[in-house]
């Protein structure tokens, strides 16, 4: 079996093909009405930036309950992971080795990243894939967008397009680890030729690959559209409610050897319980053949808690709310058992406005975005052996607030200097203000009052050799402010800056699509993952001084025959910190030039699609990820081994003559060769001064997130 895997890995390595099936041409596609919502932040095919376009059809065959990041895992330079191991619940995505905290995510042009943590929590929007019309992934800095800066990539999502005709869908899937997904969708089609209403309800459950790492997820989506003449209006409300059992602390190497599925937590309600609702409104008006305007409004309301059982916890942490346990001699121990909840309650408002001008040679966009965020952080004790004299259940032992404003304005233009040469220019000004008050969960008085002003220029040229071939190059700058957890770790932490140079070639002709892109990403004070986690499982970051990423991405799509298509991609890169200073044995040690954490030097994906007849596809999907380090000192214990996994996907659509418009049967076997692999983890160091009196010895530890071995999902969709 192992020899077969290595053989398939060799085939994958030698194949340079891409998963994406982009339908646009060198001149760009004819834009549908819904796409005006995202036209200010997406790029067309000829733009001098590395990007991938993914359609609803490409997502649907694998959309059986796993989160969106998992469905994007076969794109170039992408590594995905799942805390519970099976792709349901808390999942993550890294692009070019950069975490989701540094990836800009927008939904219909509205920022999705949490303003304080910069994180993107797809668990809050379960089954959102079922409401996506298309998405575009831009690797590197990319073009200017709304919200936080893109330091590794940006992903902008467009929700369902207007349907001309009424429809209804019932989708059900089930599989390993008691995973189930139930989805109901509907659309009225155009009413009076101008209105359309569509919606979705979803329920996803999974026990998780990791023991007791269950997910109980609910979501909804409702969208109304109005289109008449030169006016297009889109109003949406969507959200989700998630309950997930704690699995974000991983397991140790020793626990993996005992049982890689074990979960050290035993308290029955050690869960995350969070709700999030989004309200959006978009209005696009075409003024004439050249000018159009777009306005977007958003309100996001999030609230929820993480519940923990604490054994022999210090009572000092709770400011007198709980009283100490007493031993058999009547002496107070200074500790007690208790159950606590740590809450987050936040409100996020956004206003986007843009104006677009188009002529035969010039396409120019003026855009601005303003957002304001307020997040309350507080903790309460819901049970203790004994409360303090003047305390009772649900008294808050800490409370803090974070407020953030974000204003940006950018102008971008593409101009044809002649028939072959196109110039792209993009200038963005961004101002960020962040203030905090109150206490952290460690009862530290956190007072931050920072403001940042960033200037982010971007320039590029595209040269069209002919209708099939284009050469491009670009320079882009991005600046990005620290997150709340960054400030908690280091109040003097610095913002990060990235200068990104991209150079590439695209070729498309006679069923052959080839993209070759090289990049050099030069960082100043990059906020890199240290490998450690804070006390709620969020990764800790630190400034790394000067660092860089340099690499080559190659992808190609080729149709070998009427039955076979091969899509594959490969990334070769070098990702280095120029100098890392870190404590070791009681002193600051210079580790010199090291690898940037979670940045494999080699990645490749391969998809072989066999279509024996219309509406019937069989796909073998392969993914190889090279060695990664969980820290930045190249410590042996921080090393994650390379892995190579294969999935098998089948999709068959039947078109009966009555009752149903279509019956779609789909299946997915993940990790068909039953590989035991780990895609993510954390690494930390600590000083041990007890083993040898008078000496300080630096020790290290690590936690790992084992991913599921062979597992399956089967789905049935009825379309009316």
Task: Return the domain boundaries, the chain.
Answer: 2-719
- The structure's pTM equals 0.91
> What's residue 535's pLDDT?
58
Answer with the residue of higher pLDDT: 266 or 699: 266
The answer to whether residue 688 scores a pLDDT higher than 70 is: no
pLDDT band at 537 (very low <50, low <70, confident <90, very high): low
> What's residue 149's pLDDT?
81
Among 386, 253, 395, residue whose Cα is nearest residue 319 = 395
Cα(425)–Cα(410) distance, rounded to whole angstroms? Answer: 10
Do residues 163 and 196 touch, judged by C-beta distance below 8 A? Answer: yes
Average pLDDT over residues 634-647: 95
As a whole number of Å, the CA-based R_g of the chain is 26
* Percent of the chain scoring above 90 in pLDDT: 73
> What's residue 423's pLDDT?
97
> What's residue 55's pLDDT?
92
The answer to whether residue 285 scores a pLDDT higher than 90 is: yes
Cα(173)–Cα(159) distance, rounded to whole angstroms? Answer: 22
* Percent of the chain scoring above 70 in pLDDT: 92
> What's residue 530's pLDDT?
67
> What's residue 31's pLDDT?
54
Q: Which of 384-393, 548-557, 680-689 comes out lowest in average pLDDT?
A: 680-689
Structure tokens at 563: 């039955």
> What's residue 90's pLDDT?
93
Cα(67)–Cα(88) distance, rounded to whole angstroms? Answer: 6
Query: pLDDT tens across 390-431, in order?
Result: 888 888 999 999 999 999 999 999 999 999 999 999 999 999
Place of tokens 């790394």: 544
Among 282, 298, 400, residue whose Cα is nearest residue 348 = 298
> What's residue 38's pLDDT?
87
Structure tokens at 458: 């971007």
> What's residue 7's pLDDT?
41
pLDDT band at 575 (very low <50, low <70, confident <90, very high): very high
The answer to whether residue 532 scores a pLDDT higher than 80 is: no
Average pLDDT over residues 238-249: 94
Determine which helix (DSSP H) or strand (DSSP E) holds 485, and give its type and residue range.
helix 484-489
The answer to whether residue 280 scores a pLDDT higher than 50 is: yes
Average pLDDT over residues 335-360: 95
The answer to whether residue 29 scores a pLDDT higher than 60 is: no
The answer to whether residue 452 scores a pLDDT higher than 90 is: yes
pLDDT band at 302 (very low <50, low <70, confident <90, very high): very high
Phi, psi of 317 (to 5 degrees): -65, -20
How many residues are recorded in the chain?
720
The answer to whether residue 56 scores a pLDDT higher than 90 is: yes
The answer to whether residue 689 scores a pLDDT higher than 90 is: no
Do residues 155 and 104 touch, judged by C-beta distance below 8 A? Answer: yes
Place of tokens 């050690």: 270
Query: pLDDT tens across 225-236, in order?
Result: 999 989 999 999
Average pLDDT over residues 296-315: 95
pLDDT band at 5 (very low <50, low <70, confident <90, very high): very low
Determine which helix (DSSP H) or strand (DSSP E) holds 145, and give its type and residue range.
none
Structure tokens at 314: 């210090």
Q: Which fold has domain 2-719?
A: Maltoporin; Chain A (2.40.170)
Determine which helix (DSSP H) or strand (DSSP E) holds 100, and give its type and residue range.
none
Among 154, 207, 97, 205, residue whose Cα is nearest residue 679 = 97
> What's residue 26's pLDDT?
36
Structure tokens at 552: 């080559």
Structure tokens at 220: 């909804």
Structure tokens at 106: 């927008």
| Cα angle 111-117-119, degrees, rounded to a multiple of 5 | 60
Average pLDDT over residues 264-279: 94
Average pLDDT over residues 74-101: 94
Do residues 273 and 340 touch, judged by C-beta distance below 8 A? Answer: no
Query: pLDDT tens across 102-115, in order?
Result: 899 999 999 999 99
Residues facing 206 on adjacent strands: 215
Chain mean pLDDT for the chain: 90
């Amino acid at each position: 079996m192992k020899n077969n895997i290595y053989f398939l890995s060799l085939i994958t390595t030698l194949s340079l093909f891409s998963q994406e099936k982009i339908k646009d041409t060198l001149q760009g596609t004819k834009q549908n009405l819904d796409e005006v919502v995202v036209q200010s932040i997406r790029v067309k095919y000829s733009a001098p930036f590395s990007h991938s376009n993914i359609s609803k059809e490409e997502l649907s065959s694998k959309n059986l309950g796993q989160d969106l990041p998992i469905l994007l895992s076969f794109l170039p330079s992408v590594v995905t992971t799942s805390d519970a191991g099976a792709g349901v619940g808390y999942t993550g995505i890294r692009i070019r080795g950069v975490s989701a905290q540094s990836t800009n995510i927008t939904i219909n042009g509205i920022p999705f990243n949490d303003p304080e943590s910069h994180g993107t929590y797809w668990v809050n929007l379960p089954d959102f894939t079922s409401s996506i019309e298309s998405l575009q992934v831009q690797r590197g800095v990319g073009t200017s967008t709304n919200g936080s800066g893109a330091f590794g990539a940006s992903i902008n999502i467009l929700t369902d397009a207007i349907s001309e005709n009424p429809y209804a869908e019932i989708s059900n899937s089930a599989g390993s680890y008691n995973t189930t997904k139930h989805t109901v969708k509907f659309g009225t089609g155009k009413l009076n030729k101008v209105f359309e209403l569509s919606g979705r309800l979803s329920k996803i459950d999974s026990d998780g690959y990791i023991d007791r790492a269950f997910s109980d997820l609910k979501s909804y989506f409702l969208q109304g559209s109005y289109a008449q003449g030169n006016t297009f209006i889109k109003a949406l409300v969507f959200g989700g409610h998630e309950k997930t059992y704690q699995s974000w602390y991983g397991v140790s190497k020793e626990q993996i050897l005992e049982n890689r599925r074990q979960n050290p937590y035993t308290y029955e309600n050690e869960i995350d319980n969070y709700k999030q609702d989004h309200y959006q409104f978009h209005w696009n008006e075409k003024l004439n053949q050249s000018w159009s305007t777009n306005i977007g409004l958003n309100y996001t309301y999030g609230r929820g808690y993480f519940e923990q059982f604490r054994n022999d916890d210090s009572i000092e942490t709770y400011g007198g709310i709980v009283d100490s346990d007493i031993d058999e001699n009547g002496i107070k121990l200074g500790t007690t058992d208790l159950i606590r909840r740590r809450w987050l309650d936040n409100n996020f408002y956004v206003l986007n406005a843009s104006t677009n001008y188009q002529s035969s040679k010039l396409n120019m966009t003026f855009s601005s975005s303003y957002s304001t965020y307020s997040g309350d952080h507080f903790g309460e004790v819901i049970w203790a052996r004994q409360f303090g004299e003047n305390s009772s259940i649900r008294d808050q032992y800490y409370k803090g607030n974070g407020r953030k404003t974000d204003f940006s304005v950018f102008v971008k233009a593409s101009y044809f200097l002649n028939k072959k040469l196109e110039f792209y220019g993009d200038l963005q000004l961004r101002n960020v203000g962040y203030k905090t008050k109150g206490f952290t969960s460690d009862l530290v008085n956190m007072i931050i009052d920072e403001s940042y002003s960033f200037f982010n220029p971007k320039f590029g040229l595209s040269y069209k050799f002919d209708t099939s071939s284009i050469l491009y190059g670009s320079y882009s700058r991005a600046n990005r402010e620290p997150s709340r957890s960054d400030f908690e770790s280091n109040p003097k932490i610095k913002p990060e800056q990235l200068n990104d140079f991209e150079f590439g070639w695209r070729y498309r002709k006679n069923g052959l699509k080839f993209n070759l892109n090289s990049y050099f990403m030069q960082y100043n004070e990059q906020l890199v993952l240290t490998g450690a986690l804070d006390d709620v499982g969020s990764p800790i970051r630190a400034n790394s001084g000067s660092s860089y990423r340099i690499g080559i991405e190659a992808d190609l799509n080729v149709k070998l025959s009427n039955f076979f298509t091969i899509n594959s991609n490969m990334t070769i890169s070098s990702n280095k910190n120029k100098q890392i200073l870190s404590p070791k044995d009681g002193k600051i040690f210079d580790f010199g030039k090291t690898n940037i954490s979670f940045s494999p030097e080699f990645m490749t994906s391969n998809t072989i699609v066999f279509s024996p007849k219309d509406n019937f596809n069989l796909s073998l999907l392969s993914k190889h990820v090279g060695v990664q380090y969980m820290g930045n000192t190249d410590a042996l214990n921080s090393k994650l081994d390379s892995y190579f996994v294969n999935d098998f996907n089948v999709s068959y659509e039947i078109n009966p003559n009555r009752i149903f418009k279509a019956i779609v049967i789909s299946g997915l076997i993940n990790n068909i060769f039953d590989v035991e692999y780990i895609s993510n983890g954390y690494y930390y160091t600590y000083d041990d001064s007890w083993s040898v009196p008078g000496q300080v010895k630096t020790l290290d530890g690590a936690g790992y997130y084992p991913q599921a071995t062979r597992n399956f999902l089967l789905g049935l969709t009825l379309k009316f």
